[in-house]
Chain A
Amino acid sequence: MSEEKVTFATQAWIEQFHAEINKSEAYRQAAKTWEGDFYFIIEAEGALTEPVYMYMDLWHGESRGAFIAQDPSARSPEFVISAPVSTWKEVIELRLDPIKGLLTKKLKLKGNMAKIMRAVKAANELVRCTTRVPTDFPL
């Protein structure tokens, strides 16, 4: 029986992502010293007509909270990574290494880059968690 797909950049999707992170022993190990929250901005493209701000609070190998921010100005996370839907799709389908995406600026990052470069393994494990969410992209 095939799994039901969840639409990317929705509350349901980020909840599943949050659950996958907290199930992942590999992520827990790789990110055991990580402290930092994020906005993942999904820029409007295709069927997505407005940008979506996904907030995640990642702390010592766990997701402490994840939701779609209705008012992006309400929080000032340490990191902001933004890209259009099609680029996020490439990342989630493992066709674009997230670090390579940052180096080529297909993924735009605001925040302490050096801190991210010390957490490349955690970044990869985070992406691996997204692959476990059966995803339908609004393209």
Chain B
Amino acid sequence: MWYFRSPEIVFGEDALDHLAYLKGQRALIVTDEAMARMGFVEMVKAKLVQADLDCDVFDQVEPEPSLETVRRGAAFMLEKKPDWIVGLGGGSALDAAKAMWILYERPDLAPEEINPIDDLGLHQKARMVAISTTSGTGSETTWAIVLTDRQEQRKISTGAPECMPDIAIVDPAFAAHMPPRLTADTGLDALTHAIEGYTSSWHNDFADGLCLKAVQIIFAYLPRAYADGEDTEAREKMHNAAALAGLGFINSLAAAAHALGHSLGAVFHIPHGRAVSLLLPYTIQFNARGVQPTRYVDIARLLNMSAADDQEGANSLVSAICDLERQVGQPLSIREALPDVAPDEFAAHLDKLVDNAEMDATIVASPRDLSTDDTRRLFEYAYEGKDVDF
């Protein structure tokens, strides 16, 4: 027994127009200051005004939102009493909006208490629209929430099925202005979602097609979107792929690249997409040396790579991911991603990195079990950029 959950997805050119059809009294936009500067908040407000909604804005979500920010946003919601929460931004703003929504409906909870098991009883006060402005996290089509506990230097990878947005707006106009670095980081985040979603131990028929289609689109269009931000076809395809990958992995779970990537990002402040995608080739190599068959061969064949058997399929996929990462200027090792971190400094953080990864909920869906020693060695190999041989 399992569930497939999805928002209503409005996609394509002018998808934002759908906001003008909302029924309600008051909307609260949860976003960051950059969205206001870029004029996106005004674009959204204009549509909400057409729907006769009063509108407030909380624009203080920072990258990798903290528990404190979530508490402040929820307090603002309790004051303004919206019946629509409108998350606008990348994964940080959308994840924060979901967490604030939960605390708005359930002020008895602390953000640390959000979990996917308890019944929350949402939708008594508000519904949620998620508008993605990057093409990567897929947060608009997931119930996942990633928050940062700054005191513990740890990402809290949580969520609740009930906080799946009611409506996801996938309008490529918002992604058109992403700079190349952000295009690469977020696009590779989507690729990691899609590959882990397809190969996780919780994979299922309903999520498979979404993940595979997303992989296919990303390999074809990410280099184009990175090389030429004005390539509107590539932008739209990548925006769709991110939403597809989000919908895929949230229904089958991400795995070890996410567990290790969350940890790496929290300890060394590497952007989420860069961190998880950096670790992806290493976790694939690790998984491919475990119980056969893996499902990497399916992906390799879909992409017309050499894939006579499982091992060759996995090898081909790893090579293709590394080629793609190079093409879009991404680091392939932790050492390369952190040129200012000396080897002994990295080694001094290994215990923390391993502990964080082992506490990450996504580790449970790895197709091959990781012992503590395996996790440590994966970090060490990824630091050095060595092929995994264990």
Contacts and interface: CB of A to CB of B under 8 A. Distances in A.
Interface stretch (A11-19, A46-54, A97-105): A97-105
B371 A26 contact: yes
A112 B114 CA distance: 10
A103 B116 contact: yes
Interface stretch (A36-44, A69-77, A114-122, A129-137): A114-122
Given A97-B202, A113-B118, A104 B358 contact: no
B116 A118 contact: no
B119 to A, nearest CB: 9
A114 B115 contact: yes
A6 interface: no
A114 B364 contact: no
A124 B158 CA distance: 18
A99 B114 CA distance: 16
A104 B116 CA distance: 10
A106 B1 CA distance: 9
Contacts of B113: 112-114
Contacts of B363: 120-121
B378 to A, nearest CB: 14
B369 interface: yes
Give the interface residue-count category, chain B. 20 to 34
Contact of A97 (B118, B364, B369): B364
Contact of B359 (A99, A102, A118): A118
B7 to A, nearest CB: 19
Contacts of B116: 103, 113, 117
Nearest to B113: A114
Given A100-B202, A104-B1, A114-B112, A109 B359 contact: no
B2 interface: yes
Interface in A18-36: 26, 29-30, 33
A81 to B, nearest CB: 11
A100 B180 CA distance: 38
Given A30-B372, A104-B2, A121-B363, A114 B358 contact: no
A90 B94 CA distance: 37
B359 A119 contact: yes
Given A103-B117, A106-B1, A114 B371 contact: no
B361 interface: yes
Contacts of B1: 104, 106
B115 A100 contact: no
Contacts of B371: 26, 29
A117 B158 contact: yes
B282 to A, nearest CB: 18
A120 B361 CA distance: 6
Contacts of A100: 2, 202
Most buried by B among A26, A118, A123: A118
A97 B363 CA distance: 13
Contact of A117 (B355, B358, B361): B361
Given A113-B117, A124-B369, A99 B158 contact: no
Contact of A109 (B2, B117, B372): B117
Nearest to B112: A114
A114 B158 contact: yes
A26 B371 CA distance: 7
B216 interface: no
Contacts of B161: 103
Interface string B158-176: 1001000000000000000
Nearest to A128: B369
B358 A124 contact: no
Interface string B1-15: 111000000000000
B201 interface: yes
A103 B364 CA distance: 13
Contacts of A116: 115, 117
Interface in B368-390: 369, 371-372
A44 B369 CA distance: 33
A97 B112 CA distance: 24
20 contacts: A30-B358, A30-B372, A33-B355, A97-B201, A97-B202, A97-B364, A99-B361, A100-B202, A102-B117, A104-B3, A112-B113, A113-B116, A114-B112, A114-B114, A114-B158, A117-B115, A118-B359, A119-B359, A121-B358, A124-B369
Interface of A: 26, 29-30, 33, 97, 99-100, 102-106, 109, 112-114, 116-121, 123-124
9 cross-chain pairs, A with B, having the tightest CB-CB distances, nearest first: A113-B115, A29-B372, A120-B364, A113-B117, A118-B359, A114-B115, A121-B358, A102-B117, A114-B113
Given A105-B117, A114-B112, A119-B359, 20 more contacts: A29-B371, A30-B358, A99-B364, A100-B202, A103-B116, A103-B161, A104-B2, A113-B113, A114-B158, A117-B116, A117-B158, A118-B359, A118-B361, A120-B364, A121-B358, A121-B363, A121-B364, A123-B364, A124-B364, A124-B369
